[in-house]
Amino acid sequence: MKLGFGLYRHQLNDDHFRFARQCGATHLVVHWVDYFRSSRSNNPNDQPVGDDSGWGLAGDPDQLWDRQNFEELRDRAAAHDLEIAAIENFDPAHWHDVLLDGPKKGQQLENLKSIIRAVGAAGIPVMGYNFSIAGVAGRVKGAWGRGGAEVVGVSGPCDTPIPNGMVWNMVYDRTAPSGYLAPISHEELWRRHGEFLDAIIPVAEEAGVTLAAHPDDPPMPTVRGQPRLVYQPGMYQRLIDRHSSPRNALEFCIGTLAEMTDGGVYEAVDTYSRQKRLAYVHLRNVRGKVPHYQETFVDEGDIDMLRVLQILQKNGFDGVVIPDHAPQMTCAAPWHAGMAYACGWLKAAIQSIG
Ligand SMILES: [Mn+2]
């Protein structure tokens, strides 16, 4: 198993590359979408949380990510002895109508194919995505961690409707007519996802890129009045059964799985790692389940993380594990301290299981 480190778009600079390497990471997972663009409510030194207005403004719909972007990234990381393990998440600007089944869907599926080819051409093996209309919405912050550390959590359902022009918790059209997205069924969301896989998997196979699906966080049946694709562990099976290609894989988020109400997290780790369908792993501990849970330090919370790593090891998982999010620690660099703590714990744990 390899220790990776996730960096947000605004952190793609030498200082953060050095920091990740100093934490012991050998691999990077890079968020190429800038969640913090024109954001009114996000702290750039924390994971994005946002409010009902979302995280920030989606990118330029006409500026597709290209091979040169990713080759430059790969080379800059290599100068710090870091390998790019994955690009995480598409920009809503490039695929809003794939999620919403809108009029630009055809063109936007071509956008995604072009991005997948660019990722592959730069030798980056994985593209992570989250097929979600509400995205990571409905979370709140509080001093609920050990020693009063500020953490993220969920305290009750969140079904405020999503305004037009917004999807995946970002605004892609500031001039959209007033009104809200119409609710759809869970089956309709699966139909849209199937169409996405049918179009993209053949291109991913050609490009040598594995598509990796994150489950819905928070994993409630609906968020902001919209259905969630994968909100119970068993729904991941439906996703991988949709296409037998090993390029159809999972961005396996242990914290999100633990927040789900059905079944146990160890059973889910065993089930999916045995099938060799994990592209990479997000590791984060939590206390509670939806609709009431809080993120915690890696060594508190409900999950025995060492047991999770042992199951992954037993099933031969040799990929990248990253600390997903970490509590903010009380000091001059709360995000850095939290991430360094998680990396140190994780590196020692990986060593201890051999
Ligand atoms: Mn995650």
Which residues of the chain form beta strands (DSSP E)?
2-7, 27-31, 83-88, 126-129, 140-142, 151-155, 166-167, 170-171, 210-213, 222-223, 226-227, 248-253, 278-283, 285-289, 292-296, 320-323
The answer to whether the Cα torsion of 169, 172, 175, 180 is positive or negative is: negative
Task: Give 54 Cα–ligand 1 centroid separation in angstroms.
Answer: 18
Using 50, 70 and 90 to split pLDDT, how confident is the model at 151?
A: very high
DSSP-derived secondary structure for 131-147: --SS-S-S-EEES-SGG
Task: Give 178 Cα–ligand 1 centroid separation in angstroms.
Answer: 32
Mean pLDDT, range 294-323, rounded to an integer: 97
294 pLDDT more than 80: yes
Question: For strand 83-88 and strand 126-129, is the pairing parallel, antiparallel, or unpaired?
Answer: parallel
Q: Please, what CATH class does the domain formed by 2-352 belong to?
A: alpha beta
Task: Give 283 Cα–ligand 1 centroid separation in angstroms.
Answer: 7
Task: Give 179 Cα–ligand 1 centroid separation in angstroms.
Answer: 30
Task: Give 216 Cα–ligand 1 centroid separation in angstroms.
Answer: 9
Task: Give 256 Cα–ligand 1 centroid separation in angstroms.
Answer: 6
Task: Give 103 Cα–ligand 1 centroid separation in angstroms.
Answer: 30
The per-residue pLDDT for 14 is 97
Using 50, 70 and 90 to split pLDDT, how confident is the model at 354?
A: confident
Using 50, 70 and 90 to split pLDDT, how confident is the model at 134?
A: very high
The per-residue pLDDT for 43 is 81
Length of the chain: 354
Task: Give 266 Cα–ligand 1 centroid separation in angstroms.
Answer: 16
The per-residue pLDDT for 37 is 81
Task: Give 324 Cα–ligand 1 centroid separation in angstroms.
Answer: 5
The per-residue pLDDT for 44 is 80
Q: What is the pLDDT of residues 259-273, one digit of tens each?
A: 999 989 999 999 999
* pTM score: 0.96
Q: What is the pLDDT of residues 39-55, one digit of tens each?
A: 777 788 888 887 888 88
Q: What is the pLDDT of residues 2-20, one digit of tens each?
A: 999 999 999 999 999 999 9
CB count in 10 Å sphere of residue 323: 25
Mean pLDDT, range 300-307, rounded to an integer: 97
Using 50, 70 and 90 to split pLDDT, how confident is the model at 107?
A: very high
329 pLDDT more than 80: yes
Q: What is the pLDDT of residues 187-237, one digit of tens each?
A: 999 999 999 999 999 999 999 999 999 999 999 999 999 999 999 999 999
159-181 as b/e: b if 16+ CB within 10 A:
eeebbbbbbbbbbbbeeeeeeeb
Task: Give 328 Cα–ligand 1 centroid separation in angstroms.
Answer: 17
Question: Are 201 and 190 a contacting pair, CB within 8 Å?
Answer: no
Task: Give 251 Cα–ligand 1 centroid separation in angstroms.
Answer: 8
Task: Give 71 Cα–ligand 1 centroid separation in angstroms.
Answer: 25
Task: Give 276 Cα–ligand 1 centroid separation in angstroms.
Answer: 19
38 pLDDT more than 90: no
Task: Give 257 Cα–ligand 1 centroid separation in angstroms.
Answer: 9
Task: Give 176 Cα–ligand 1 centroid separation in angstroms.
Answer: 30
More confident residue, 354 or 97: 97
The per-residue pLDDT for 238 is 98
More confident residue, 125 or 137: 125
104 pLDDT more than 80: yes
Task: Give 330 Cα–ligand 1 centroid separation in angstroms.
Answer: 23
Task: Give 218 Cα–ligand 1 centroid separation in angstroms.
Answer: 10
The per-residue pLDDT for 169 is 93
Mean residue pLDDT of the chain comes to 96
Mean pLDDT, range 319-325, rounded to an integer: 96
